[in-house]
Amino acid sequence: MAMHVGSQGLSSDEWLRFQVQMGVTYIDASPGHGLGIEETNCWQADKLARFREHVESFGLVLSAMHLPLHSGGIRDQPWPDILLAGPNRDREIDQVCQSIEAAGKAGIGTLLYNLALVHVLRTPWRTPGRGGSTYSHYDWEVSKKDPLLPHAPVSEEEEWERIEYFVERVIPVAESAGVRMGCHQHDPGIPAGERYGGVTRVLGSIDGVKRFVALNDSPYHGLNFCQGTISEMCNSPEEVYDAIRYFGSRKRIFFVHFRNIRGTPTNFDEVYPDEGQIDFTKAIRIYKEVGYDGILVPDHVPQAPDDPGSWRAHAFCLGYIKALIAMVESEA
């Protein structure tokens, strides 16, 4: 199997038709309701299967779904006690396991998820970009002034205990169900020795991600490899290329968020793929070099006042990735 351009995000019929128009076949889509969470606090196989069949009716392939272990805020997800080490932790892990088993029965082979006590950090304002676009911006000097989080303090040791507890119980179930589990990195990392709101970011460094991967040697335990977030951890593009080689050669990259940044680990913008500091041509050649045969999707695309929903930005990024894949697959 060769690499493929894919897409993530919405699951409306209009969005699915847009993907077909853009030449996309493989998507990651997860509706926010209707999968069983409302009734049983876990996914149900029959509802997942109906959603997969609906996606397939457009000529698309549901290549992955996102478990509602997201990075939008720990208290805004159905299973908060997993990372809060609360009284319902074991019951919620059981519900995650039931959801994984349901996905396997419904024919969904890859699930993506986050283990994040802290939401994605960005400044309230955006920075100007080309043609009136605006870019998502991060500045640690701003974020570090935020108040203590309600669930703080959490030490590095406590955070690792909670992550390890989860992985130890979930990955054997995923392997039995035939479902790969791809974890997203903490976006962004923070300077070594620092905390955000009293909470550490243990998956916000290359060493932390290596430690996470080493928690289990199952081929079903790996990464939703966010190249943009990896770039946010690194001081040079070469470190990013080395990370692709390290995790890709170990077959732990299950999915790729193929986005670019401009700046430093403590102050950056998320930009169009052709204007960031990572050479996408070099990066995609390394993915091929390590034998990655999965999906690459746009992520956190720029916004513009005359582009509601950033559909034009998505189209640009999709075409850019599609051309890069065609180039590298044609090379001997």
What is the biggest distance separating any 2 CA atoms in the chain, rounded to whole angstroms? 56
pTM of the full predicted structure? 0.97
pLDDT at 1: 56
Characterize 253-291 residue by residue with b for buried, 16 or more Cβ atoms within 10 angstroms of its Cβ, and e for exposed. bbbbbbbbbbbebbebbbbbbeebbbebeebbbbbbebe
109 vs 89: CA distance, rounded Å:
25
pLDDT at 32: 87
Using an 8 Å Cβ cutoff, are 280 and 296 in contact? no
Q: Which CATH code is given to the segment(s) 4-26+69-95+114-157+185-330?
A: 3.20.20.150
Characterize 70-91 residue by residue with b for buried, 16 or more Cβ atoms within 10 angstroms of its Cβ, and e for exposed. bbeebeebbbbbbbbeeeebee
**The amino acid at 307:** D
Domain boundaries, the chain: 4-26+69-95+114-157+185-330
Supply 4's token pair: 């493929």
pLDDT at 11: 87
Residue 252 Cα distances to 113, 219, 227, 238, 329, angstroms: 14, 7, 14, 19, 21
* pLDDT tens across the length of the chain (332 residues): 589 999 998 889 999 999 999 999 999 999 989 999 999 999 999 999 999 999 999 999 999 999 999 998 898 999 999 999 999 999 999 999 999 999 999 999 999 999 999 999 999 999 999 999 999 999 999 999 999 999 999 999 999 999 999 999 999 999 999 999 999 999 999 999 999 999 999 999 999 999 999 999 999 999 999 999 999 999 999 999 999 999 999 999 999 999 999 999 999 999 999 999 999 999 999 999 999 999 999 999 999 999 999 999 999 999 999 999 999 999 96
Query: Helix, strand or coil for residue 187?
Result: coil
Q: How does strand 127-128 pair with strand 267-271?
A: unpaired
227 vs 283: CA distance, rounded Å:
9
With 0-12 CB in 10 A as exposed, 13-18 as middle and 19+ as buried, what is 240? buried
Element at 226 (helix H, strand E)? strand 221-226
